[in-house]
Structure 1
Amino acid sequence: MNAEPAEPTDTPAVTVHSQDDPTARVTLTDRHFPDEYGTGFTVDLHGEGLRARVDSVVVWAWGPEHLADFLDKLAADFRGWDGERTWSTHHLTLRAVFRSGGHVGLTWTIRPWTTQENSWEASVTTWLEGGEQLAAFASDVRRFLNSGTALGGPACSS
């Protein structure tokens, strides 16, 4: 499987590797809890000649759809969809497309500053099999984001 949690350590992480490009991978790490309503983490993008990192991604219980819920919905639509689906929060946007053969392209875009016009952004696309592989990745992301949270509210429910 190309989506796998990192080895158990004091610092949990989850990494997704691309089937199409062995150099393309995204790692979510350095999880922290700014309060009982949020989970913060770092996003590392790796690709051919690219390494980019943003340390300040936070998802909130009352915010938009939970990242794991977004991934679960993509996996549930393993027969495909038209167009692009998007999830975002400050500093991170995730775009998903479906291509023939049952594969889902996840384009991860990070931006360190969201209010400055001259800010940089970087993107990496990872390709996964729709259905079970994507569902397993969504489960890994849910575990990563929810482990240790005090709140069992909307963003923390399975």
Structure 2
Amino acid sequence: MNFQDDDFDERPCVTIRCQDNVSVEVSFRDRHSTDDYCVQYSVQVQAPGLSARLDEAVAWIGNNSDLAPFLEKLAGDFTGWDGEQCWETNDRDLAVSAVFRPGGYVDLTWTLRPWREAAGGWSASVTTQLEAGEQMASFAAEIRHFLEGQAS
């Protein structure tokens, strides 16, 4: 995970890489906002043989049902849970599902589904793995800082 300046522009980005295979990653970038309530951003997923990008995902600042609170809740459940916990944007173009694994790890499956209503729509998914607890909490904080436009 990094909260970093992108080499191509000066805007921050957050990247999460899978612990088992660092070539699998999810990047949040190109954050922009026109008001204090809504922010738009891009999400890119990469894995061997796969590169997909979702432009214009929307987050609502201060909304307790958005991505940052979802990740913070997962971080708070560091002792684990049964089954799958899921979240998606209001437009359902970005979704993440979380599964707690033995040994204290969380698998996060990220799914991009732009143009899901259009003919020829597509979806792409990758799974990253983090340690429950501190790594998960750090990632959740980085996402919150990114969405709120704060440097970490």
Q: TM-score, normalised by structure 2?
A: 0.89
Deviations 1:55-108 (A, max 9, x none): 110012476612111111101111110010011012100100000000000110
More displaced 10-residue stretch of structure 1: 19-28 or 59-68: 59-68
| Aligned pairs for 1:5-154 within 5 A | 5-7=3-5, 10-61=10-61, 65-89=65-89, 90=91, 91-116=93-118, 118-147=120-149
Mapped partners of 2:95, 2:64: distance in 1: 12
CA distance in 2, matches of 1:71, 1:143: 13
Q: Secondary structure at the match of 2:12?
A: coil
Amino acid corresponding to residue 48 of structure 1 in structure 2 = P
Provide the aligned length of Structure 1 versus Structure 2.
Answer: 146
Identity %: 46
Following TM superposition, the consecutive aligned residue runs of length 4 or more in structure 1 with deviations greater than 6 angstroms are none
Is the contact between residue 116 and residue 122 of structure 2 (CA under 8 Å) also seen in structure 1?
A: no
Secondary structure (helix, strand or coil) at the match of 1:35 reads coil
Q: TM-score, normalised by structure 1?
A: 0.86
Which residues of structure 1 form unaligned runs of 5+?
Answer: 149-158
SS in 1 for 2:33: strand
State whether residues 61 and 148 of structure 2, in contact with CA within 8 Å, keep that contact through their aligned partners in structure 1: no
Deviation at 1:36, TM superposition (A): 2.4
Other structure's SS at 1:140 match: helix
